[in-house]
Amino acid sequence: MTFTQMLAAASQARQSLLCVGLDPDPARFPAGMTPAAESFFDFCAAIVDATADVAAAFKPQIAYFAAHGAERQLQRLIAHVRQAAPGVPVILDAKRGDIGATARQYAREAFERYGADAVTLSPFMGFDSIEPYLDYADKGLFLLCRTSNPGGDDLQALPLALPGQPRLFEHLAQLAQGPWNVNGQLGLVVGATRAHEVARVREMAPALPLLIPGVGAQGGDAAATVRAGWRPGGPVVINSSRAILYASSDANFADAARAAALATRAQLQAALPAGAVL
């Protein structure tokens, strides 16, 4: 099964477009939970258990683990997702990008060490920095395209001296939809804070899966994002991390996370066109 098929099956089974982001910040752990390495697993596993039937995907952000030496906890967590939410894909958010020889090591890290189903990549170094990941033909590769942060404008919005003068992110969407997508593994990251550009990316890349972060804590418009990005045959998965993880800082944090995830899923579903089938 390819990553895209896996994502579609999970999205259909859970009637959900929601990706639950796993960004464990010890400064925000609930009362009574220590910042010890084990807590990274305990906290995230509780969130996974509470949202296992709501999430179409989980997206652990590797820096939140690696910065605290908690890589083993990330490995345990991904194994836990397999048990608690079978069939739900894990998107490892690593935003890697390097020369081919080094990229090969990053690919091995994502897919062999962690066993992720997909990874986020920075395409800034060009196609040969993506190529080593293509050897893992059943895995998904989400290329940063039009990111949610304000500084995304600095480079991504620059017009290129190419026919039609596409902006950098538009050109990238074309490459990912076309010549770079040799195994059909590519998807794009587009920020929910830029709903009108989600629509533009969808126009340039009608069939690619879109990973859309930026709802919740970053204030993106969840409904506008779905309307702009979802098409039959053009899947989307919309990530929310902090708004779910830290919905409560008390002992009831997992129940609060579940409530936040259910509310977000409902909001995303309500924005689908009438008669849409996931």
The residues annotated with a catalytic role in the active site are: 95
**In whole angstroms, what is the distance from residue 130 CA to residue 45 CA?**
31
Report the residue from 11, 148, 225, 264 that binds ligand OMP according to the rule CB under 6 A.
148
Q: Looking at beta carbons only, is 83 or 149 nearer to ligand OMP?
A: 149
Report the residue from 7, 17, 20, 21 that binds ligand OMP according to the rule CB under 6 A.
21
Tokens representing 167 are 């902006």
Name the nearest CA neighbour of 185 among 1, 3, 58, 17: 3
Span near ligand OMP by CB under 6 A; candidates 45-53, 132-140, 234-242, 247-255: 234-242
Does 120 sit near ligand OMP (CB under 6 A)? Answer: yes
233 three-class SS: coil
Pair 32, 1: CB distance under 8 Å: no
Name the nearest CA neighbour of 117 among 15, 187, 179: 187
Beta carbons within 10 angstroms of residue 159's beta carbon: 12
Q: Looking at beta carbons only, is 93 or 197 nearer to ligand OMP?
A: 93
Q: Looking at beta carbons only, is 123 or 191 nearer to ligand OMP?
A: 191
Instruction: Report, in Å, the least distance between residue 274 CB and ligand OMP.
Output: 28
Pair 210, 198: CB distance under 8 Å: yes
Does 189 sit near ligand OMP (CB under 6 A)? Answer: yes
Binding site for ligand OMP (CB under 6 A): 21, 23, 61, 93, 95, 120, 147-149, 189, 191, 213-214, 216-218, 239-242
